[in-house]
A and B are shown apart, each in its own frame.
Chain A
């Protein structure tokens, strides 16, 4: 039977009335499956009528159900703006078919919500978060019992995140009331459709319908250089000859900069998440109506909001991921069976090679996988609290059943026990034997934690010098890491924290800091390992022409590599790691992508910090890492570490490395909030919150921070694989001076890996103090020359300018009187003893030079102590440790305290 013949005549009539003459491929495949009652994931590019494919048969089903009673279909999208768009499309259909439709999300007014509670619409369009809220009201829960269909739109956007995990549990909570309902997921192209199906349905059978995207893409890569003025000139040319154009950029800052530069061009608007809703909707509307021809946007426009006809998509800079490119370019030709045209404007060497690789992979339909998070403990905590509030009191085994019906929490008994115990510690639930009981706090918690998105308070940064606010930082970051004396970077400048008080961070500009901190604003999209690898391969084969770049790009890339050769720099590739010495430390060129480099860089850093007792500053991107190090540690040392590293130990080392980093503490605070330990509006200023975080040692909160960081922020398996290849000789390691490639690139991630003990900080402070100490040099030969200076200015072997002798005593300033006494012709016993002491002092300086002077300037260290310290023959840090020991003894004596 033809697909259309199976549809209700009323639905068919509407399809005709709406002007659809034929069904798309997607629709032809999907509609019969949905009519058959199958769960389905429909994977198709934007603009192939995905929504309609799902909704025609759903309308069909709704028409056969009795009216009223409750919600019959839920349509869930990740964004409110998408909800509004879907609502405006559904209203026409529902009106024609005599069905009711409503939208409910954060912006929905109270009156509308009350109306929905009293007379629920047949079709409710909502977000995952508001879906969660539906379980909190008694009447709404009754309405949920009628649900027969759940459509999850843009499911690829949800499946890989904690939001998605929360939704998956939510759907199983719905199952308790509604029984089996039909599940329909709508997705953009992904590398692993079966995992998306599992995410949506758990163990239930699920059909997958996939409409390939590649044949509809027409992609080109154009090199535009790194000069912003030239870049905008190229853009202007494009805009002149094209119709309506979307320009995608990777950061809001770039969006604003381009918007400013193209403003004079007219008919251009900027669209990104920091702009107010009104401004965004206005821009969308005007673009749709054709009043403006160009929209500059960030990922805010990736999802399927209908903005009318798009002739051309320009991606400014590498899209970094294949999926992102496909999704963005898919916005062009937003009509059935039309070709989507996209152009990537590449801005540098890495950017160009990466763009060429991504374009090639897009044509070959090699899209990244989406990995749903498994066993996310904070999502579980959130859902336990929600279920406790929903039921008041419930058997733990019931909660476990609900969670284990999803694909994300297989065999979660132990995890659930740990999570419940932790929640009880934070007074979020009570445990009574096998039962979980809600608390007064749980409902309050839920009101503030409906969403798994970390809606962070922003802490303003106030510069005390210019007396103005220079930016903001995420609160969890401030709470977890920042304290007085810390130096961090934001807006390209260094700042030192003076005070955290009254909800703001007071800072002053810092002149220099070797280690810089991340600022976490606008986290970068990571470049996946396969993309970075293939870019590395291109550097090796140098067969750039095979990727069909335009002539400008080809000659630039080839010229760049020739320049490397001319400088006798080795070109790092997928089979060659180069370690380059720079003034700041060592650059490790590794083509492994962001996540693997995050893992590898941190492992190397902790090993360096442990071996040399120093903090390591780490900055990295997909192709290189800069280890900021004291000058004594060089590339050869890093090579030694790389070669002696056991890949099997890397996960353990990485966990150690993470524990005291900014990234880890930031995560810990976010997760602790989801466990109810920290309220969204907590007042942190009263206590040392960083020590509070130690309370999470060996808890499920800490475990979750590790799980999330190791699975979502870094890729330890790939990093360990690279180290194995290094050791088997398949990847070579070479040393050299800084090259063009090593110096290039914007290092997009920053952190510091501190050493295991405070030793280095104490030693650094001691060295600073001693070098600044005043010292009185006095000649014990002619006894007629003395000079007051500071230790750092003293020569290695000071000499008396009067008599040329090297018999110089290094005295503390208050010993000046004693030197004066030496001139007395007749000395008493005490004075003779002093004379002897000064002679001994000078003899030590004579034999040990500056080192003796440093020891003698320490507190409570006289000639006896000094010669004991010098007799240990220790050097560098060990020498200073001996001084610390002597001072520690001194501090315990009455002499220091009297």
Chain B
């Protein structure tokens, strides 16, 4: 298995027997929700789709894995989604086969996705790697493999010597440790389970990593060993453990 980081996404290529391109959290249709919260912008779906097509061209994969939250509105479809989604998915389909793991925002996605594209909400193995959106408990059969998930939109704050802080989307690699509040690790699972949290592809989504680690909001994030979790930037630059961010400046 080999990985490629595509920072223009952020997106990831995992190459085993097949070459898979993985993107998480597209959130098409987010603009309608923003407007409801006082932020009024024209739909940026076209630009987002264009960016995704560029990433596909760059990666030239055998299949595109959509790791959930392809659309945004819950609990029901908005007019924007109803009009935009078929075109978006057709454009993707025309270029590359799709594998879809529905997320918590994907209520009603069945309407737009073909049956053969759809995978279970609690995940499935593809080419020896487990994929799921990450908002619910993973299927028991997935443990012992690398799990690639979305849902958390991790974003990192970095400081330089003068103190300027910048934010950037980032990946988190963490080990799963069975615990009271976390995921039910099935007894007799082989080996350890590693989770790779993908940053969101949607340009507006973002959630500070420090906050994710402090107040985990999903079964998998509650089960990870936060102290040893490692952060990787969208271009594959290793930042290291959260402690390397050294928020307490005592040095």
Residue B38 lies at the interface, judged by CB distance under 8 Å to chain A: yes
Query: Which chain A residues lie closer than 8 Å to B2 at the CB level?
Result: 892-894
Q: Which residue of A758, A760, A769 contacts B161 across the interface (Cβ within 8 Å)?
A: A760
Query: Which chain B residues lie closer than 8 Å to A425 at the CB level?
Result: 41-42
Residue A876 lies at the interface, judged by CB distance under 8 Å to chain B: no
The stretch from A166-174, A239-247, A263-271, A609-617 touching chain B is: A609-617
Residue of A nearest to B36 (CB): A683
Known contacts A483-B157, A615-B160; A765 and B37 CB within 8 A of each other: no
Residue B236 lies at the interface, judged by CB distance under 8 Å to chain A: yes
Q: With both chains docked as a complex, state the minimum distance between the C-beta of B104 and any C-beta of chain A, in angstroms.
A: 15
Query: Which chain B residues lie closer than 8 Å to A679 at the CB level?
Result: 38-40
The answer to whether A677 touches B157 (Cβ under 8 A) is no
Contact size range, A: 35 or more
The answer to whether A426 touches B40 (Cβ under 8 A) is yes
The answer to whether B243 touches A772 (Cβ under 8 A) is yes
Residue A654 lies at the interface, judged by CB distance under 8 Å to chain B: no
Chain A 461-487 per-residue mask, 1 if CB under 8 angstroms from chain B, else 0: 000000000000000000000011111
Known contacts A758-B158, A762-B239, A884-B237; A892 and B3 CB within 8 A of each other: yes
Residue A687 lies at the interface, judged by CB distance under 8 Å to chain B: yes
The stretch from A76-84, A284-292, A513-521, A725-733 touching chain B is: A513-521
Residue B196 lies at the interface, judged by CB distance under 8 Å to chain A: yes
- Counting chain B CB atoms within 10 Å of each CB, which of A515, A616, A629 scores highest? A515
Residue A512 lies at the interface, judged by CB distance under 8 Å to chain B: yes
The answer to whether B164 touches A687 (Cβ under 8 A) is no
Query: Which chain A residues lie closer than 8 Å to B163 at the CB level?
Result: 487, 513-516, 615, 617, 752
B132-169 interface with A by 8 A CB criterion: 146, 155, 157-168
The answer to whether B161 touches A615 (Cβ under 8 A) is yes
Query: Which chain B residues lie closer than 8 Å to A486 at the CB level?
Result: 157, 165
A515 to B166, CA, bound (A): 13
Chain A 858-898 per-residue mask, 1 if CB under 8 angstroms from chain B, else 0: 01000000000000000000000000100110111110111
Q: With both chains docked as a complex, state the minimum distance between the C-beta of B29 and any C-beta of chain A, in angstroms.
A: 14
Known contacts A513-B163, A628-B162; A769 and B40 CB within 8 A of each other: no
A576 to B166, CA, bound (A): 37
Q: With both chains docked as a complex, state the minimum distance between the C-beta of B41 and any C-beta of chain A, in angstroms.
A: 6
Residue A364 lies at the interface, judged by CB distance under 8 Å to chain B: no
The answer to whether B4 touches A892 (Cβ under 8 A) is yes
The stretch from B18-26, B78-86, B198-206, B217-225 touching chain A is: B198-206
The answer to whether B173 touches A614 (Cβ under 8 A) is no
Query: Which chain B residues lie closer than 8 Å to A513 at the CB level?
Result: 163, 249
The stretch from A274-282, A330-338, A349-357, A689-697 touching chain B is: A689-697
A371 to B236, CA, bound (A): 51
Residue B208 lies at the interface, judged by CB distance under 8 Å to chain A: yes
Q: With both chains docked as a complex, state the minimum distance between the C-beta of B45 and any C-beta of chain A, in angstroms.
A: 13
The answer to whether A897 touches B164 (Cβ under 8 A) is no
Residue of B nearest to A763 (CB): B160
Query: Which chain B residues lie closer than 8 Å to A755 at the CB level?
Result: 160
Query: Which chain A residues lie closer than 8 Å to B41 at the CB level?
Result: 425-426, 677, 692, 695
Q: Which residue of A764, A769, A890, A897 contacts B173 across the interface (Cβ within 8 Å)?
A: A897
Q: How many B residues touch A, CB cutoff 8 Å?
A: 57
The answer to whether A892 touches B161 (Cβ under 8 A) is no
The answer to whether A688 touches B196 (Cβ under 8 A) is no
The answer to whether B166 touches A891 (Cβ under 8 A) is no
A867 to B232, CA, bound (A): 25
Q: Which residue of A512, A690, A764, A888 contacts B238 across the interface (Cβ within 8 Å)?
A: A888
The answer to whether A688 touches B206 (Cβ under 8 A) is yes
Known contacts A691-B203, A891-B3; A615 and B240 CB within 8 A of each other: no
Query: Which chain B residues lie closer than 8 Å to A629 at the CB level?
Result: 162
Query: Which chain A residues lie closer than 8 Å to B205 at the CB level?
Result: 687-688
The answer to whether B38 touches A859 (Cβ under 8 A) is no
The answer to whether B162 touches A630 (Cβ under 8 A) is yes
Q: With both chains docked as a complex, state the minimum distance between the C-beta of B245 and any C-beta of chain A, in angstroms.
A: 6
A729-770 interface with B by 8 A CB criterion: 752, 754-755, 758, 760-766, 768-769
Q: Which residue of A427, A762, A765 contacts B35 across the interface (Cβ within 8 Å)?
A: A427
Query: Which chain B residues lie closer than 8 Å to A688 at the CB level?
Result: 155, 167, 204-206
Residue A496 lies at the interface, judged by CB distance under 8 Å to chain B: yes
A513 to B159, CA, bound (A): 10
Query: Which chain A residues lie closer than 8 Å to B35 at the CB level?
Result: 427
Residue B210 lies at the interface, judged by CB distance under 8 Å to chain A: yes
Residue of B nearest to A511 (CB): B249
A752 to B160, CA, bound (A): 12
A127 to B193, CA, bound (A): 68
Residue of A nearest to B163 (CB): A515
The answer to whether A765 touches B42 (Cβ under 8 A) is no
Query: Which chain B residues lie closer than 8 Å to A754 at the CB level?
Result: 160, 164, 166
Residue of B nearest to A486 (CB): B165
Query: Which chain B residues lie closer than 8 Å to A677 at the CB level?
Result: 39-41
Residue of A nearest to B244 (CB): A769
Residue A710 lies at the interface, judged by CB distance under 8 Å to chain B: no
Residue B34 lies at the interface, judged by CB distance under 8 Å to chain A: yes
The answer to whether A695 touches B162 (Cβ under 8 A) is no
A468 to B211, CA, bound (A): 21
Query: Which chain A residues lie closer than 8 Å to B249 at the CB level?
Result: 510-513
Residue of A nearest to B194 (CB): A897
A616 to B162, CA, bound (A): 7
Residue B180 lies at the interface, judged by CB distance under 8 Å to chain A: no
Query: Which chain B residues lie closer than 8 Å to A763 at the CB level?
Result: 160
A617 to B237, CA, bound (A): 26
Residue A297 lies at the interface, judged by CB distance under 8 Å to chain B: no
Residue B247 lies at the interface, judged by CB distance under 8 Å to chain A: yes
The answer to whether A890 touches B238 (Cβ under 8 A) is yes
Q: With both chains docked as a complex, state the minimum distance between the C-beta of A164 and any C-beta of chain B, in angstroms.
A: 27
Chain A 671-687 per-residue mask, 1 if CB under 8 angstroms from chain B, else 0: 00000111111111011
The answer to whether A484 touches B159 (Cβ under 8 A) is no
Known contacts A615-B163, A616-B162, A752-B162; A768 and B246 CB within 8 A of each other: yes
A896 to B1, CA, bound (A): 11
Q: With both chains docked as a complex, state the minimum distance between the C-beta of B175 and any C-beta of chain A, in angstroms.
A: 11
Q: With both chains docked as a complex, state the minimum distance between the C-beta of A860 and any C-beta of chain B, in angstroms.
A: 8
A890 to B233, CA, bound (A): 14
A510 to B235, CA, bound (A): 31
A425 to B43, CA, bound (A): 9
The answer to whether B38 touches A772 (Cβ under 8 A) is no
B87-130 interface with A by 8 A CB criterion: none
A734 to B235, CA, bound (A): 44
The answer to whether A515 touches B164 (Cβ under 8 A) is yes
The answer to whether B239 touches A765 (Cβ under 8 A) is yes
Query: Which chain A residues lie closer than 8 Å to B228 at the CB level?
Result: none
Query: Which chain A residues lie closer than 8 Å to B1 at the CB level?
Result: 894, 897
The answer to whether A764 touches B161 (Cβ under 8 A) is yes
The answer to whether A687 touches B34 (Cβ under 8 A) is yes
A752 to B42, CA, bound (A): 32
Query: Which chain A residues lie closer than 8 Å to B206 at the CB level?
Result: 687-688, 691
The answer to whether A762 touches B158 (Cβ under 8 A) is yes
Residue A165 lies at the interface, judged by CB distance under 8 Å to chain B: no
A397 to B251, CA, bound (A): 64
Residue B17 lies at the interface, judged by CB distance under 8 Å to chain A: no
A620 to B247, CA, bound (A): 28
Cross-chain pairs A/B with CB under 8 angstroms, 9 sampled = A425-B41, A484-B210, A485-B159, A496-B247, A514-B163, A686-B34, A687-B34, A772-B246, A891-B236
- For the complex of A and B, the 8 pairs showing the least CB-CB separation, nearest first, are A682-B38, A679-B38, A769-B244, A515-B163, A485-B157, A615-B164, A688-B206, A615-B162
Other 14 A-B pairs with CB < 8 A, given A427-B40, A688-B205:
A441-B40, A483-B157, A510-B249, A691-B203, A695-B41, A752-B162, A762-B233, A884-B238, A888-B5, A891-B5, A892-B3, A893-B3, A897-B146, A898-B146
Binding site for B on A (CB under 8 A): 425-428, 441, 483-487, 496, 499, 510-516, 614-617, 628-630, 676-684, 686-688, 690-692, 694-695, 752, 754-755, 758, 760-766, 768-769, 771-772, 859, 884, 887-888, 890-894, 896-898
Binding site for A on B (CB under 8 A): 1-5, 30, 33-35, 37-42, 44, 146, 155, 157-168, 173, 194, 196, 203-206, 208, 210-211, 232-233, 235-241, 243-247, 249-251
